[in-house]
Amino acid sequence: MRVTLLGSVLALALSGCAGGAGTPAGAHTVEAPAPPPARAPVVLFLGDSYTAGYRDVEAEQTYAGVLSRKLGWQPVIGGYPGTGFLAEGKIGKNFGRLFADQLRWRPAPDLVLIVGGHNDALRDPAPAALDAAVHGLLDDVRTTWPGVSLVVIGPIWGGTPPDRALAVRDTVRDAAAAGAVPFVDPLAEEWFTGDVSDGTGNAPAYIGRDEAHPTADGHAYLADRVAASLTALGVQNPGD
Report DSSP state, residue 101: I
Asked, for residue 4, whether it belongs to a domain, the answer is no
Q: CA-to-CA distance for 164 and 137, rounded, in angstroms? A: 22
| Owning domain of residue 204 | 42-233
Q: CA-to-CA distance for 195 and 207, rounded, in angstroms? A: 9
Give per-residue pLDDT as tens, 178-232. Answer: 999 999 999 999 999 999 999 999 999 999 999 999 999 999 999 999 999 999 9
Q: CA-to-CA distance for 120 and 82, rounded, in angstroms? A: 9
* Backbone phi, psi, residue 125, to 5°: -75, 165
Q: Is the pLDDT of residue 21 over 50?
A: no
Asked, for residue 1, whether it belongs to a domain, the answer is no
Asked, for residue 20, whether it belongs to a domain, the answer is no
Asked, for residue 69, whether it belongs to a domain, the answer is yes
DSSP helix/strand/coil, 46: strand
Asked, for residue 214, whether it belongs to a domain, the answer is yes
What pLDDT, on the 0 to 100 scale, is given for residue 52?
94
Which has more confidence, 95 or 27? 95
Q: What is the CATH number of the domain that holds 58?
A: 3.40.50.1110
> How many separate domains does the chain show?
1
